[in-house]
């Protein structure tokens, strides 16, 4: 999925289908049963994309080369991830 990058939307702005497909889909955390389902749904992941695998309760991000388990070293928690993603 090739996205348009990241964008902050203005309150009251009318979203088009292109906005949803180009921006919001990339900025959301998609949920899959396992890595096989993830890989079949996302043929071309974008660097920085996050997914959640329900089969293993694993949060992963794409580092530009591979899917990497997300670990919150240094005391950071998931709230920091959502903050960085603009949620």
What domains can be seen in the chain, in order of their start residue?
Answer: 29-85 (3.40.1620)
pLDDT at 70: 87
pLDDT at 35: 96
pLDDT at 41: 92
Mean of pLDDT values over 19-36: 81
CA–CA dist 40, 37 (Å, integer): 5
**pLDDT exceeds 50 at position 83:** no
Per residue in 30-77, pLDDT tens? 889 999 999 999 888 888 888 999 999 899 999 999 999 987 655 444
pLDDT at 87: 45
CA–CA dist 16, 34 (Å, integer): 31
User: Cβ contacts of residue 31 below 8 Å, gap of 6+?
Assistant: 51, 52, 53, 54
């Amino acid at each position: 999925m090739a996205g348009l990058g990241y964008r902050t939307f203005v309150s009251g702005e009318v979203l088009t289908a292109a906005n949803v497909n180009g921006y919001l889909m990339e900025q959301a955390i998609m949920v899959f049963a396992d890595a096989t389902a993830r890989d079949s749904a996302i043929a071309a992941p974008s660097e920085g994309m996050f997914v959640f695998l329900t089969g293993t309760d694993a949060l992963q991000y794409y580092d530009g080369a591979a899917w990497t388990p997300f670990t919150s070293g240094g005391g950071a928690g998931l709230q920091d991830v959502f903050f960085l993603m603009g949620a």
